[in-house]
Structure 1
Amino acid sequence: MPVLLPTLKRAGVLLKRAGVLLLTTAALYAAPAAPAYGAAADEPGWTAEPVAGSGAARPYFYLAGDAGTVLEDRLALANTSDQAHTVTLRGADAYNTADGAFAVRPGRPAATSGADTAEGPGAGAWISFGAGATVTIPPRTRAVVPFTVTVPPSSPPGDHPAAVVATEAGREVGVRVHLRVSGPTLAALTVEDVAVHGRGAAARVAYTLVNRGNVALAPELAVRAEGTFGRERAGAPRPLPVELLPGQRVRLTEAWPAAPALDRVAFTLTVTAPGAAPATGSAAAWFTPRPGAGWAGAGLLPLGGGAAAALFLVRRRRLRGGGVPGPGPGDGERPDSGSEAAADHELTGAAR
């Protein structure tokens, strides 16, 4: 079909009218409902979020109670479009992906029975919307849907992460559910499988964090590196971009762009979290020049080995105290407590 180009004057009139129409539309649709956690960047025409409590917006649901009780809350669905939307609701178990992201398990739309709402034995199966599992929302309308969380009598204490998931035509919006069952709590984590990969600016320290308690953790990491030649570098503790859920393990990496060209570096990782004892893990790695560095790098290897041996002798003499003979490690001397290997304490609360 041919496209007719209007004259310049007529085009100006059309643009002016279009501007008025856009301003009118913006005024009509101002202040839409805030998108729920997990909403896609391109809005589906509706939003899902917890009903505000005492006039304040809630970013997620927080429920707490004893085992064997039934908890209640309400989900708000807001249709911000000009057409009706039919949304199905279900509960889902939450977990950490391998790299630490928060995710929910797939499942069927919720039914009238809480046991049929999600696949798996987690807290997602405790959530039920009853007859409101499928909701049709008229245009420009907000619907409030109640739901229940039936906590089984045998539920262990601690955090049971879950989510409420709203679905339409394959598009999902999730709202997190922080559920805590009353009873003793244990905050515990370990650092495992520390390894160093790469060299130079591409060097990275990989490690595994394991939550061995029954509450979610917000960990912080501090990295300390000590070279053979006495160079020490320690970074201040910083929060990790992960919420470690109970019983979960994640594999993370830490960039180390300051890796030396030639040295043996010992890395010590210390991870802390509120309420938990500090956890440490360590690894050592040799950093050597690339093969393309030529004979200069190869010639430095014996020099580096001789310097390391000399440094060892100097440190040993200092430990003996100003040249006064004293017992050495081979003469029954007790090693310094800072060099003792930490005992491997296996904490209960989560399977490996």
Structure 2
Amino acid sequence: MPSPVRVPAVLGLPLLVLLTAAPAASAADGWSLAPAGGSRPSFYAEGAPGAVLQDTVSVTNRGGRAVVVRLGARGVRAVFARSRVRVPARTRADIPFTVSARADRSGEIVARDQDGRTATVALRLRAGGPKLAALTVERVSVHADRITYDLVNRGTTTLVPALAVHADGLFGPVLDRAPRTLPVRLAPGRRLRLTEPWRDHPALDAVDVRLTVTAPGGARGSAAASARFVPWGGVAGGAGAVTAGGALFLVRLRRRGRRPPEQAPERPDRDVESTGAVT
């Protein structure tokens, strides 16, 4: 297979080649699938881990009528210049495709025509270079009952990671989980979104959470996030009580302000009224 190449924005369009020496069309002839450019019985791709490799598959139609085939892959991830190809009679179509050398894999390039007939070509993919174990922990978030995070394999070998969780609150540690192996296998280049349950977190606290992930081969990654836990139901109830108490106080104060002042008792009139009598 050719040397690794950068993924093109658009793969080249299929190339149609007229067969100059085609035998008479017959049911036994039909169409066939094979690696382009020679007599290779199968595909072989080798490159540095993560490299993108390109090759070409040929669909040869030796029949007397056009055939439409759909291209795909099993066991490997392949991207074709065109997944549906119409090949005229006595013509060969060359279709470029790319595969990523993420790990050692065995698979097949598959073609199926409109009548359901299939043809396959074996493909062997090898990720060369030194074995490297590396990972990162990303996008850590603390929620009401869980911690979510991403694990990314940055190396060249499949990892079986182990997770340790530690959290500190205002008054000391509130969570300390020893490393335990996760039930996942992380292939090179793969990203996984994972969840760690945490239902018994403090009701009222500000915490700093740190996740540490390790894997055989020396891989290690760590990331942290902060969160504040507040019992909003209790806070709302307390605030409501304070508000209600304040409102009652204001109502009583206003009622007292509206009450008319009490009348003072009448004092005796010291002025003597004249009656016209003379003594």
TM-score, structure 2 as length reference: 0.46
Q: 1 or 2, which has the higher strand percentage?
A: 2
TM-score, structure 1 as length reference: 0.37
Q: 1 or 2, which has the higher helix percentage?
A: 1
